[in-house]
Chain A
Amino acid sequence: MTDKNPFAHVPSEPGAHKEDPIIIADHVQRRFGGLTAVDVDHFEVQRHAITALIGPNGAGKSTFFNLLTGFDKPQKGEWLFNGKSMKGVSPAKVARAGKVRTFQLTKALNRMTVIENMRLGAADQRGENIFAAFVPSLWRQREADITERAHDLLHRFKLYEKKDDFAGSLSGGQRKLLEMARALMSEPEMVMLDEPMAGVNPALTESLLDHIVKLKNEGVSVLFVEHDMHMVRRISDWVVVMAEGRIIAEGPPDTVMLNPEVQEAYLGVHHDTDLSEESSS
């Protein structure tokens, strides 16, 4: 881990090349009937950093996000994750490759307990194979390891006391934390967060932000889609701005907002996003 800013020499322009990209995407296009939702020429995400993907409503961020995580298929385009092609790869395989995602509408598995939710997130459990499932001795040990890791994460996210409760009985914020903790069970290289602040009450926001920063410190790369500019300014190392399906700007958080194109994109579409500096605290 170098203390040097990996973005020191990266130009602030759309499609800028990064020093050590974990994702590289080229000519990605997604159309719905006559509407082009995503049209990205080039896109790179820096490893071990927190990248924010922002833009006004309808910019195509969620669509692009789904494309990158395998939950949608583009008409055209290629992208690499860790040098491996992810074109046409199913969402489950993308996750297994080391890139997990969360959902805007939290998908805590409500009728399962918190600890079972966590265990489900783990990878490499032979017991998940039907034949091995019959022979507990084949998977008991791994189950114990998984449970231990789950306990650690639950402690870290302050959910340990709730571990035997059904996920449906948790508060909205707790379920968000659960989803994030669960995503970390497989020790992913990259975590993709889909509007992590959506619907979260302000009291929880700081805690969530801290968790995300801690991820980066552990070497996990983070990409998140967000509307909350406060969060973007607080924790992101690099900001990518989309509008009308294309990337219109890239740069460090403090300067990218001043970009006139960005301001126009927002002012033209989404009036209440607060771009001003005074509101950052």
Chain B
Amino acid sequence: MGDLLVDVVREAFTPTTAAFALAAVGLNFHFGLTGLLNMGQAGFMLLGMYGFAITVREGGPIWLAVIVALAVSMVFGLILGWPTLKLRGDYLAIVTIAAAEMVRYLGRSQNFNSLTGASTGIRGNEFKGPFEDLSPFPDRMVDVGPFAFHGTRSTSWWLILVAWVIVAIFILIFARLSRSPWGRVLKGIREDEDAVRSLGKDVYSYKMQALVIGGAVGAIAGVIWSLGASVQPDSMGRPTTFWIWTLLLLGGAATIFGPVLGSILFWCALVLIKGLAAMWIPDTVLSQEQLQPFSLLLVGVTLMLLVIFRPQGVLGDKRELAFND
């Protein structure tokens, strides 16, 4: 049990948790502030990953790789938004899912093998180098209290530090922007576009800005995630987007800390449930390989219950429910 608790607390600050928190911050720009139903955040993450990894693999410096990641996702956002932002909510959801899936299919297709590595993706040693070279931490396993991570490689203390610093930066950015007059316009758009138009604001332009910014944040989230894992298109599929939605709604959409809290709760709960299930439920009833789908089943049920009974999540204000009916 003690080991399980250590695992649960450990999960709270892994790079995966940070990456998903950041992806949720991006989604918060889309849905929390503006009411856009972006069901394709995984697509932005995947494009960010590809942009970064391919640039590094081709010999580019790390700062260029980051710029490419941002640029690719922003262009995707522009292309996606240009014709679709006039569509009604659920239509936008379908288009964004389709677009994200297309990115995934194209990425995993044999036709692009030389560029993206098809379904195998891009291996860590091809793109993690420059990032790991920047690490001031030792190149071996390092124990801090009960938590053991490598100093520099892959899922490392270095990545944890960088990831959470980036999360903090974007939380600040979100806070500042959402409290600004710009954020106010977006909140108005979330409520009623026509009203905002009648007050002289160019609704389409604002929606596009929100889409592009949220997508760019998602791209950075993808880069962080891939630095702890690998660039693999099938890991950025529909379920990934749905998890981001779940953890955003769990923490509280349209709140500043909702994405972080939601991500921590989500991932820790998963570890906890799997751990408890493994401990208490005999193997004959629930086998080892069934643990994962079992816990994800609970994720699905959680999403349903959240949306029905507590759409404002943990931190949200009921009067400011992020759902527009």
Is A–B contact present in the complex under a CB 8 A cutoff? yes
A interface residues, Cβ below 8 angstroms from B: 69, 71, 90-93, 95-96, 100-103, 107, 109-112, 116, 119-121, 123, 125-130, 132-134, 136, 139, 143, 166, 168-169, 182-183, 185-186
B173-189: CB near A (< 8 Å → 1, else 0) gives 10011001111110110
State A101–B213 Cα separation when bound (angstroms).
31
A-B contact count (CB 8 A): 102
Q: State the Cβ distance, A222 to closest chain B Cβ, in Å.
A: 16
The CA-CA distance from A133 to B213 in the complex, in Å, is: 14
The answer to whether A136 and B192 touch (CB under 8 A), given A90-B202, A100-B198, A100-B199, is: no
Query: Which of A96, A112, A133, A134 has the most C-beta atoms of chain B within 10 angstroms of its own C-beta?
Result: A133
Question: CA–CA, A186 to B180, complex, Å?
Answer: 18
Instruction: Write the nearest CB–CB distance from A135 to chain B, whole angstroms.
Output: 9
| Distance to closest chain A CB from B30 (angstroms) | 15
B295 interface contact, C-beta 8 A: no
Name 14 A/B residue pairs within 8 A (Cβ), A-sorted: A91-B198, A92-B201, A100-B200, A102-B198, A103-B195, A107-B194, A111-B187, A116-B184, A120-B184, A127-B182, A128-B181, A128-B185, A133-B176, A134-B176
With A112-B191, A134-B177 given, is the CB distance from A120 to B199 under 8 Å?
yes
Name the interface size band of chain B. Answer: 20 to 34
Instruction: Say which residue of A71, A112, A123, A130 sits within 8 Å of B182 (CB atoms).
Output: A130
| With contact pairs A92-B200, A133-B177, A168-B319 given, residues A120 and B188 touching in the complex (Cβ less than 8 Å) | yes
**Are A133 and B321 neighbours in the complex by a CB distance under 8 Å?**
no
User: Complex: how many Å from CA A133 to CA B185?
Assistant: 11
CB pair A133–B180 under 8 Å, yes or no, is: yes
Smallest Cβ-Cβ distance to B192: which chain A residue: A107
Complex Cα spacing A107 to B209, Å: 24
Question: Which residue on A lies nearest to B181, using beta carbons?
Answer: A127
Enumerate the 6 nearest inter-chain pairs by beta-carbon distance, A residue then B residue, closest first.
A127-B181, A107-B195, A95-B200, A133-B180, A133-B182, A109-B191
Find out whether the CB atom of A169 lies under 8 angstroms from the CB atom of B199.
no
Q: A95-B197, A128-B182 are in contact. List 12 more A-B contacts (CB 8 A).
A: A90-B197, A92-B198, A92-B201, A103-B195, A111-B187, A127-B181, A128-B201, A130-B177, A133-B177, A134-B177, A136-B180, A169-B319
A120, B176: Cβ atoms closer than 8 Å: no
Contact B200 A109 (CB under 8 A): no
Q: In the complex, how many angstroms separate the beta carbon of B285 from the nearest chain A beta carbon?
A: 46
Q: Are A139 and B181 in contact (CB under 8 A)?
A: yes
A139–B185 alpha-carbon span in the complex (Å): 14
With both beta carbons as reference points, the residue of chain B lying nearest to A69 in the complex is identified as B198
Q: Is B196 an interface residue (CB 8 A)?
A: yes
Evaluate contact between B319 and A71: CB separation under 8 angstroms.
Answer: no
Chain A residues with CB under 8 A of B190? 111
At the interface, yes or no: B203 with Cβ under 8 Å from chain A? Answer: yes
Shortest distance in angstroms between A70's beta carbon and chain B's nearest beta carbon?
Answer: 8
Known: A96-B200, A134-B176, A166-B320. A103 touches B194 (CB 8 A): yes
Contact in complex: A120, B197 (CB < 8 Å): no
Which chain A residues lie closer than 8 Å to B192 at the CB level?
A: 107, 109
Chain A proximity of B180: nearest CB distance (Å): 4
Chain B CB within 10 Å, residue with most, of A71, A92, A166, A169: A92
Q: How far is the CA of A75 from the CA of B274 in the complex (A)?
A: 63
Residues of B within 8 A of A125 (CB): 181
A182-B182 contact given A107-B192, A107-B194, A112-B191, CB 8 Å threshold = no
